[in-house]
């Protein structure tokens, strides 16, 4: 496995949000499963994922597939007690940092629960407002 993917895998499982930022390209693009918008920038993406890791419970990776620049990490988790399965689709740049990161999840009901939980969390996070400009 690529060292960046391994470090990401390990940080997510350990809920180590501080371990994520060094893995991201400065201009990383993150496409969440909850709406059709893109977050841009390493600090904004790290902030979003910090909230996500706090919401997900019983998180496990089921499969990791990839080679070179393109990777897929299949996961299972719970959101507000609801089961979900999803994939992280990751593209690395020439420096081996995460450049593109898209998350696809199902079922729809769980994605809705994730969106509601995220909105509740970020509403209480005064520092998160600084990242609103990173949403395109």
Res 133 pLDDT > 80: no
Angstrom distance (rounded) from CA 8 to CA 16: 9
Give the pLDDT of residue 6.
94
* Interval 12-25: pLDDT, tens: 988 888 889 999 99
- Looking at the chain, how many residues does it have? 136
Q: Determine phi and psi for 71, rounding to 5 degrees.
A: -135, 150
Contacts of 66 by beta carbon, 8 Å cutoff, 6+ apart: 1, 2, 5, 72, 90
* Interval 91-106: pLDDT, tens: 999 999 999 999 999 9
Give the pLDDT of residue 81.
95
State percent of the chain over pLDDT 90.
74
Phi-psi group of 118: left, alpha or beta (phi > 0 → left; psi -120 to 50 → alpha; rest → beta) = alpha
* Interval 50-68: pLDDT, tens: 889 999 999 999 999 999 9
Res 129 pLDDT > 90: no
Looking at per-residue pLDDT, the higher value among 113 and 17 belongs to 113
Match 């399965």 to its residue by tokens.
85
Res 136 pLDDT > 70: no
Angstrom distance (rounded) from CA 68 to CA 66: 7
- The CATH code of the domain that includes 103 is 3.10.450.50
Are the CB atoms for 85 and 106 separated by under 8 Å? yes
Domain housing 91? 3-134
Give the mean model confidence (pLDDT) for residues 15-39.
Answer: 91
Res 49 pLDDT > 80: yes
Reported as a pLDDT band with limits 50, 70 and 90, residue 135 is low
| H helical segments located in 1-107 | 3-14, 42-55
Count CA within 13 A, CB hemisphere, residue 78. Answer: 5
Angstrom distance (rounded) from CA 117 to CA 68: 34
Domain count within the chain: 1
């Amino acid at each position: 496995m690529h060292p960046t993917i391994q470090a990401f895998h390990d940080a997510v499982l350990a809920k180590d949000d501080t371990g994520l930022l060094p893995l991201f390209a400065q201009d990383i693009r993150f496409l969440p499963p909850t709406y059709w918008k893109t977050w841009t920038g390493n600090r904004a993406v790290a902030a979003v994922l910090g909230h996500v890791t706090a919401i997900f419970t019983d998180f496990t990776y089921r499969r990791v597939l990839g080679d070179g620049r393109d990777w897929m990490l299949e996961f299972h988790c719970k959101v507000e007690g609801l089961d979900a399965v999803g994939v992280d689709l990751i593209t690395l740049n020439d420096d081996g940092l995460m450049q593109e990161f898209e998350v696809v999840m199902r079922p729809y009901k769980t994605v809705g629960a994730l969106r509601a939980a995220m909105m509740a969390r970020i509403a209480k996070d005064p520092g998160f407002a600084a990242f609103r400009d990173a949403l395109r």
